[in-house]
């Protein structure tokens, strides 16, 4: 919108006949002061005339409350007609569309404008889209708007850039902070930037469309939508001449799912199952979810969710520890949940029984792709080393190198070497060392 002198343009079309006239003389009731006959020569079938004029400073034109407009002009003697045409009243970058009745007669030819409503017969300058920026941690939306009609070379009020503003709402969700309705733009002459934060200015290059990635007030989560409201101001070389869009709203979400827990271990004891894993690295970490079932191949669901915690260990005080299998996920503040992780290291001493011998079992499955489970029994306590070698005798990965109590122990090999790269298909050897005990098993990795 502008301060000072504002222009308006009315365009009527029908039966391939048209004329354009710049109107002036609006008073405080928005009524049109008819032009004198000598100010517009010809008629709609022969004239396309542009007149200079202005709208009074400080006026507010708000559709559909504009009264009917009557324009008087001269015409060719003897020409009579009555027709209904389409007409649009342009105010700055906004257009109001009308139905119009054109009456030509020997005494008082006129155009009567009725039934006004907001329309976009001409290209409107407005925000066209506000969408979430994908594949990020949230707090960003992409705002798109089409250019102002003054964003053209040689325009007296040529636009030099577009300033982006965000409304100063509190961090609230949908029930308290809904999207801005299109009609919520403040009226002309009000303190337009009160309650708005300036974000950035996008230079004008006479393009048809512009965009900007803006920060939001907060992310939408499973609890509800958090709206952020934006407005664009097209600026010119003169500070008090500018053009604004209506406010519009959008929301951002966190699109990235957390990584599953790693280094998950389960220690089966008579008193329960002690679970432990590494801390989640995500900055937006919220909690861990622990699921339990009696079958190993189960799908986590609300029915088998048994515990939620914000720390990376928990003991399930079940009285039947050897009956259950566990899976653990990570949840962020947006409600995104990771894939489920299963324990890769398992220790067990069932009912206090101690294995009578130390033994390394076959990998299961074997051959395997992409992972195999390795288990061994220890009859006495000691330092257990479990390593994988390739067929040439080169060390590929160390799966365990620590003190262990007597019992049944399990771990997984995911086919990766010590640097985290996937090993090639082929034959590998797994070696268990416990004190003087040494045993090897043959593994086959398939691709």
Task: For 10-38, write each residue's pLDDT tens digit.
Answer: 444 443 333 333 333 222 222 233 333 33
Q: Which of 46-60, 82-96, 167-181, 308-322 has the highest mean pLDDT?
A: 308-322
Q: Are residues 98 and 39 in the same domain?
A: yes
Residue span of the structural domain in which 55 resides = 8-119
Give the count of beta carbons closer than 10 Å to the beta carbon of residue 381.
14
Torsion angle, alpha carbons of 196, 198, 203, 208, to 10? -30
Residue 1 lies in a domain: no
Confidence of residue 371 (pLDDT cuts 50, 70, 90): confident
For residues 374-400, average pLDDT: 94
Same domain, 36 and 147: no
| Cis preceding-peptide flag for 370 (omega within 30 of 0) | yes
Number of other CB atoms surrounding residue 47 within 10 Å = 18
pLDDT tens, residue by residue, 294-344:
988 899 999 999 999 999 999 999 988 888 999 999 999 899 999 999 988
Q: Kindly state whether residue 258 falls inside one of the protein's structural domains.
A: no
Q: Is 260 among the domain residues?
A: no
Mean pLDDT in residue range 433-441: 94
Quick one: tokens of 274? 């002690």
Counting Cα atoms < 13 Å in the Cβ hemisphere of 39 gives 13
Q: What CATH number does the domain containing 314 carry?
A: 2.60.40.10
Domain boundary among the residues 119, 145, 168 is at 119
pLDDT of residue 348: 76
> Confidence class of residue 425 from pLDDT cuts 50, 70 and 90?
very high
Question: Is the same domain home to 431 and 373?
Answer: yes
Question: What six digits make up the tokens of 78?
Answer: 């003897």
Sequence-distant (≥ 6) Cβ neighbours of residue 128 within 8 angstroms: 144, 145, 146, 209
The answer to whether residues 200 and 138 belong to one domain is: yes
Structural domain tally of the chain? 4
| Contact in structure between 384 and 406 (CB atoms under 8 Å) | no
Are 371 and 311 in a shared domain? Answer: no
Please, what is the average pLDDT of the chain? 74
Q: Which residue, 364, 435, 438, 443, is CA-closest to 397?
A: 443
Do residues 277 and 341 touch, judged by C-beta distance below 8 A? yes
Residues 18 and 46: their CA atoms lie apart, in Å, by 9
- pTM, to two decimals: 0.57
Same domain, 249 and 131: yes
Given 342, 363, 387, the domain boundary residue is 342
In a domain, 54, yes or no: yes
Q: Are 190 and 256 in contact (CB under 8 A)?
A: no
* 174 and 149 both lie in a single domain: yes
3 in any annotated domain = no
Of 119, 151, 180, the last residue of a domain is 119
Cβ partners under 8 Å of residue 332, min gap 6: 254, 257, 258, 282, 284, 285, 286
Residue 388, in any domain of the structure: yes
Bin 32: left if φ > 0, else alpha if -120 < ψ < 50, else beta. beta
One domain for residues 291 and 399? no
Is 168 in the same domain as 183? Answer: yes
Contact call for residues 365 and 392 (beta carbons, < 8 A): no
């Amino acid at each position: 919108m502008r301060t000072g002198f504002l222009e308006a343009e009315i365009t009527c079309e029908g039966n391939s006949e048209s004329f354009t006239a710049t109107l002036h003389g609006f008073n405080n009731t928005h009524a049109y002061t008819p032009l004198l006959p000598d100010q517009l020569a010809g008629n709609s079938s022969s004239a396309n005339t542009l007149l200079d004029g202005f709208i009074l400073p400080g006026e507010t034109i708000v559709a559909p409350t504009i009264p009917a407009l009557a324009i008087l002009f001269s015409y060719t003697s003897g020409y009579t007609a009555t027709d209904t045409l389409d007409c649009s009243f342009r105010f700055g970058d906004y257009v109001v569309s009308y139905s119009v009745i054109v009456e030509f007669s020997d005494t008082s030819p006129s155009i009567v404008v009725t039934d006004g409503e907001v329309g976009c017969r001409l290209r409107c300058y407005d925000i066209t889209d506000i969408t979430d920026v994908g594949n990020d941690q949230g707090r960003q939306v992409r705002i798109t708007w089409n250019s102002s009609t003054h964003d053209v070379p040689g325009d007296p009020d040529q636009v030099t850039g577009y300033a982006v503003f965000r409304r100063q709402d509190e961090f609230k969700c949908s029930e308290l902070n809904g999207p801005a309705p299109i009609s919520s733009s403040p009226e002309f002459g009000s303190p337009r930037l009160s309650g708005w934060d300036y974000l950035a200015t996008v230079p004008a290059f006479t393009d048809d469309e512009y965009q900007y990635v803006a920060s939001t007030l907060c992310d939408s989560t499973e609890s509800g939508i958090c709206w952020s409201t934006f407005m664009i101001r097209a600026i010119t070389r003169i500070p008090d001449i500018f053009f604004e869009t209506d406010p519009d709203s959008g929301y951002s979400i966190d699109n990235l799912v957390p990584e599953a827990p790693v280094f998950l271990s389960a220690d089966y004891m008579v008193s329960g199952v002690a679970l432990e894993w590494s801390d989640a690295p995500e900055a937006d970490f919220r909690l861990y979810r622990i699921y339990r079932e009696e079958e190993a191949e189960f799908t986590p669901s609300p029915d088998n969710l048994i515990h939620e915690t914000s720390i990376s260990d928990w003991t399930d005080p079940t009285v039947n520890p050897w009956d259950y299998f566990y899976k653990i996920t990570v949840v962020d503040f947006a409600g995104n949940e990771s894939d489920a992780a299963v324990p890769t290291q398992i220790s067990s001493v069932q009912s206090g029984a101690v294995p009578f011998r130390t033994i390394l079992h076959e990998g299961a499955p074997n051959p395997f792709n992409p992972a195999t489970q390795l288990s061994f029994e220890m009859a006495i306590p000691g330092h257990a080393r479990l390593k994988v070698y390739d067929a040439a005798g080169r060390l590929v990965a160390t799966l365990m190198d620590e003190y262990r109590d007597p019992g049944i122990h399990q771990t997984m090999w995911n086919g990766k070497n010590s640097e985290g790269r996937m090993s090639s298909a082929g034959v590998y050897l797994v070696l268990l060392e416990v004190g003087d005990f040494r045993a090897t098993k043959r593994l086959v990795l398939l691709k």
